[in-house]
Amino acid sequence: MAHFAGLLRLTHPLPTLLNALIAAALTTIAGGSTSQAALAALTMLGVHTSIGAMNDLLDQASDKGRVEKPLVGGNVSPGEARLMVVIAATAGFAAASALSPTSAALAATGATLGYLYNAGIKRTPISFLPFALGVALIPAFSWSAAGAPLPAAITTLCLIALPGGSALALQNALADRELDKSVGANGAVVRLGHQRTIVFIALLHGLTYLLLLISAPPTSSPVLLTAGGILLALGVTLSTRVPRALRQRGWEVSALALACCAIAIALSEG
């Protein structure tokens, strides 16, 4: 059981599953078939699992002492993690290729961003950028998976996702700021410091939500947009809390908030 749980943790299950569900939902809204939505979800599951497993592989030294990490805790071997990277990436790219050349290209771009982050960008001042760009690709990928042209509102949504994705990246890194600082990782959050990071998070999410409200078509669901705003405020608040577990939940709640807003806008275009 511990071995299975370790393999599951290696996939970074919550963000991986959330991205897969969002991609499947947006593909369906864009007019895609059940099979296209399933392939979109499989692409996200494969690509993000490979990114997550690679991240843990490369961070074994800096994760020393973190028993919740399956490789450090000894529940999963490095060989198994490497195999997971290869199998997951192969499955993800195969699913994307079965959709369309555009879907395959977008999936490859997203994967490359994740791999570059793992390889060292996360220790630089632009550590937030791969995450932000990856989030911005999801709506475009979903419409390509459905074989549908990208509406103007969805193109705008992709652009608005950049500040939102940047804020999510900062929230994600904030949860591990003390650990990163202790091992010499010098990403954006370590350089900014705790208080300035929280200010940037609040400003970026505030800007993102304002732009979403301004750009949302009149037929967008007010219920989903309102729910997104409430969840976004809750997510930012959780990121200010002292317990690390609450800070981790902060970026996850914020990601769900932005997903609600994206679906509200997408439904008006579907």
135-179: pLDDT as tens digits:
999 999 999 999 999 999 999 999 999 999 999 999 988 877 766
Q: Residue 59's pLDDT is what? A: 84
Quick: pLDDT tens for 123-143. Answer: 888 989 999 999 999 999 999
Tell me the one-letter amino acid at 156: T
Q: Does the structure show a pLDDT above 70 at 185?
A: no
CA 134 to chain centre: 7
Q: Residue 5's pLDDT is what? A: 78
Mean local confidence (pLDDT), 240-252: 87
Quick: pLDDT tens for 191-229. Answer: 888 899 999 999 999 999 999 999 999 999 999 999 999
Q: Residue 3's pLDDT is what? A: 78
Question: Measured between alpha carbons, how far is residue 261 from residues 198, 210, 220 in Å?
Answer: 22, 11, 9
Mean local confidence (pLDDT), 87-113: 98
Q: Residue 7's pLDDT is what? A: 82
Give, as one character, the DSSP assignment of residue 180.
H
Q: Provide φ and ψ at 98, rounded to 5°.
A: -70, -20
Q: Does the structure show a pLDDT above 90 at 109?
A: yes
Q: Provide φ and ψ at 185, rounded to 5°.
A: -70, 130
**Domains present along the chain, CATH in parentheses:** 1-149 (1.10.357.140), 151-270 (1.20.120)
Tell me the one-letter amino acid at 175: A
Q: Residue 181's pLDDT is what? A: 63
